[in-house]
């Protein structure tokens, strides 16, 4: 909601200030300028990123309007880890084999659809539970494996933010390209055009610069920052899962292992000790 309000504030402030100072809205409406800037930015994006990146970045950008990393989500992750560890402690690691092999059919995973629909996170949890069930890996070796995977995960999770940031950096230059082309058109009609037409053409060229700068600093720059923040929160959840599973592999009881995970979470939405304890009792 805050992001939608931010977009409205940017648009209202810029257009409101322009029109209140005597400007005409239609003076800013130039579809061909938008085509030049938007098309050049999209073309640059497609050149700079893998083919699959466009849809991934688009889906990630649209999801920014409703963040899933909330207090309730963090609590669900910890509850899931507690339940699966508690079952393995009571019935043995082999008892969770069916849950790990087919999470969608697991009574435990099915209680948390918000986590289950995240295939990457579900696979992350299940892969390490499989490793732990083998019983042949020391806790420090497990932690080392976690660290190596988290390094590669970070690169993948950070990519949308970096890709959008590159677009934001290039948009002012694309606006200048549109403005230069507008000036070229203006220069080509100097001989037969009157002052009014020349002024209109120059104004159209300047709109290109305006649109490029506004899109960069008013929309795409903030979007890149939001994606970066979202990536940090997502990686933080993976780190919390790591902390809980490594603690369990070290011999900690499930209730204490998830407390290790809770402590890793960012304080903004971290459940309290009492909330987690009540959630575990409810489980």
- The model's pLDDT over 143-154, given as tens digits with 9 standing for 90+, comes to 999 999 999 999
> What tens digit of pLDDT does each residue of 237-252 get?
999 999 999 999 998 9
Q: Please give the structure tokens belonging to residue 63.
A: 């999801």
The average confidence (pLDDT) of the chain is 89
Is 207 strand, coil or helix? helix
Report residue 235 as tokens.
Answer: 């990686």
Are the CB atoms for 216 and 172 separated by under 8 Å? Answer: yes
44 pLDDT band (50/70/90 cuts)?
very high
pLDDT score at 244: 95
Averaged pLDDT for residues 4-17: 91
Give tens-digit pLDDT for 193-228. Answer: 777 788 888 888 899 999 999 999 999 999 999 999
Q: Work out the number of other CB atoms within 10 angstroms of the CB of residue 54.
A: 14
User: Which pair of tokens denotes residue 111?
Assistant: 């209680």
pLDDT the model gives residue 283 = 65
């Amino acid at each position: 909601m805050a992001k939608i309000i931010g977009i409205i504030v940017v648009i209202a402030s810029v257009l409101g200030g322009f029109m209140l100072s005597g400007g005409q809205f239609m003076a800013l409406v130039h579809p061909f300028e938008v085509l030049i800037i938007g098309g050049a930015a999209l073309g640059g994006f497609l050149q700079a990123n893998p083919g699959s990146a466009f849809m991934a970045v688009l889906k990630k950008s649209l999801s920014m309007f409703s963040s899933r990393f909330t207090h309730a989500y963090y609590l669900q992750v910890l509850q899931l880890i507690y339940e699966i560890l508690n079952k393995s402690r009571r019935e043995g690691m082999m008892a969770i084999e069916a849950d790990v092999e087919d999470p969608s059919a697991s009574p435990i995973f099915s209680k948390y659809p918000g986590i289950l629909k995240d295939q990457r996170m579900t696979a992350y949890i299940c892969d390490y539970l499989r490793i732990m069930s083998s019983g042949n890996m020391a806790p420090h070796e497990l932690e080392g494996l976690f660290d190596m995977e988290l390094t590669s995960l970070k690169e993948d999770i950070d990519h949308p933010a970096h890709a959008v940031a590159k677009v934001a950096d290039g948009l002012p230059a694309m606006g200048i390209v549109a403005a230069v082309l507008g000036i070229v058109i203006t220069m080509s009609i100097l001989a037969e055009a009157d002052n009014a037409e020349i002024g209109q053409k120059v104004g159209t060229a300047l709109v290109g610069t305006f649109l490029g700068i506004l899109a960069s600093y008013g929309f795409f720059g903030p979007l890149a920052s939001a994606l970066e923040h979202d990536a940090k929160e997502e990686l933080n959840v993976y780190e919390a899962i790591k902390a809980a599973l490594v603690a369990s592999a070290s011999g900690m009881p499930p209730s204490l292992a998830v407390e290790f995970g809770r402590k890793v979470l960012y304080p903004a939405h971290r459940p309290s000790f009492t909330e987690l304890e009540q959630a575990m009792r409810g489980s």
